[in-house]
């Protein structure tokens, strides 16, 4: 399926970049266990939440306005939404990682 609408193309690029950057930060944290990656990851999640939330509202509005492209819009919304459970899983992974918890 070809994505024709600019907003959908940009949303999918943003979703891909968000996924890759979040995965990179998680892997760096798991490999090195540095608190800097933990703090950086937390800030990244907050910033990504705001930017992706605004974009999500935009693609929902686009789907309502341009309903004639419903297949493209629905595909974009579904693909964009995949990052939500991935991010939640990453947060749980960091919170419940027994190898990186400091016991004092």
For residues 41-65, one letter each, b for 16 or more C-beta atoms within 10 angstroms of the residue's C-beta and e for the rest, the string is beebbeebeeebeebbeebeebbee
Q: What are 6-43's pLDDT values in tens digits?
A: 999 999 999 999 999 999 999 999 999 888 999 999 99
Cα 48 to Cα 56: distance, rounded to the nearest angstrom: 11
Task: Return the sign of the alpha-carbon dihedral for residues 47, 83, 32, 30.
Answer: positive
The residue count for the chain: 104
Instruction: Please give the model's pTM, rounded to 2 decimal places.
Output: 0.88
Q: What are 51-84's pLDDT values in tens digits?
A: 999 999 999 999 999 999 999 999 999 999 999 9
Cα 27 to Cα 103: distance, rounded to the nearest angstrom: 22
Give the pLDDT score at 103: 47
41-45: long-range contacts (C-beta < 8 A, 24 or more apart)?
41/94, 45/87, 45/91
């Amino acid at each position: 399926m070809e994505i024709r609408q600019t907003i959908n193309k940009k949303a999918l690029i943003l979703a891909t970049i968000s996924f890759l950057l979040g995965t990179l930060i998680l892997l760096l944290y798991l490999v090195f266990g540095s608190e800097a990656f933990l703090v950086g990851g937390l800030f990244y999640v907050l910033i990504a939440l705001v930017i992706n939330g605004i974009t999500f509202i935009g693609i929902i509005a686009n789907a309502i306005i341009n309903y004639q492209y419903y297949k493209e819009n629905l595909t974009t919304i579904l693909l964009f939404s995949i990052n939500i459970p991935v991010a939640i899983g990453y947060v749980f992974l960091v919170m419940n990682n027994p190898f990186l918890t400091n016991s004092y």
